[in-house]
């Protein structure tokens, strides 16, 4: 996985991808089954992803508020419009 990504160092995400692939290829194999460490890492990753999403939502809400005050909501990109729609941020 690391070589494919043109890296020398094996990272946690490489090992997780390998386990996920192995689980799909052979669900009965012990390699693909979650253990205490992988379950903990999954919970940590989910928590971090939720925190990052909350931060992005807050930052977008602040940006929309600031741009609305300036009367410049047209400065939002298409991606930002989509993000607002997807996360129920009132940008109009």
Q: Give the pLDDT confidence of 12-46 residue by residue, as tens digits.
A: 889 888 888 888 888 787 776 777 877 888 899 89
Q: Compute CA 4 distance to the chain's CA centroid, rounded to the nearest angstrom.
A: 21
Task: Give the total number of structural domains in the chain.
Answer: 1
- pLDDT the model gives residue 39: 81
Q: At residue 1, does pLDDT exceed 90?
A: no
Q: What is the pLDDT of residues 51-92, one digit of tens each?
A: 999 999 999 999 999 999 999 999 999 999 999 999 999 887
Q: How many CA atoms lie within 13 A of 75 on its CB side?
A: 12
- pLDDT the model gives residue 50: 97
| pTM of the complete model | 0.64
Q: How far apart are CA 26 and CA 23, in angstroms?
A: 5
Are the C-beta atoms of residues 61 and 89 closer than 8 Å to each other? yes
What's the CA dihedral at 19, 24, 25, 30 to 10 degrees? 50
Would residue 71 count as lying in a domain?
yes
Would residue 81 count as lying in a domain?
yes
- pLDDT the model gives residue 32: 67
- pLDDT the model gives residue 7: 92
- Paired tokens of 23: 């689980």
Would residue 41 count as lying in a domain?
no
Q: How far apart are CA 81 and CA 15, in angstroms?
A: 35
Would residue 44 count as lying in a domain?
no
- Directed axis angle between helix 12-25 and helix 36-70, to 10°? 120
Domain residues for the domain of 60 are 49-92
């Amino acid at each position: 996985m690391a070589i494919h990504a043109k890296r020398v160092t094996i990272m946690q995400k490489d090992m997780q991808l390998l386990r996920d692939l192995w689980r799909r290829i052979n669900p009965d194999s012990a390699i693909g089954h979650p253990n205490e460490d992988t379950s903990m890492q999954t919970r940590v990753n989910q928590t971090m992803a939720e925190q990052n999403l909350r931060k992005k939502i807050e930052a977008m809400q602040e940006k929309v508020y600031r741009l609305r005050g300036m009367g410049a909501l047209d400065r939002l990109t298409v991606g930002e419009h989509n993000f607002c729609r997807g996360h129920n941020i009132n940008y109009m």
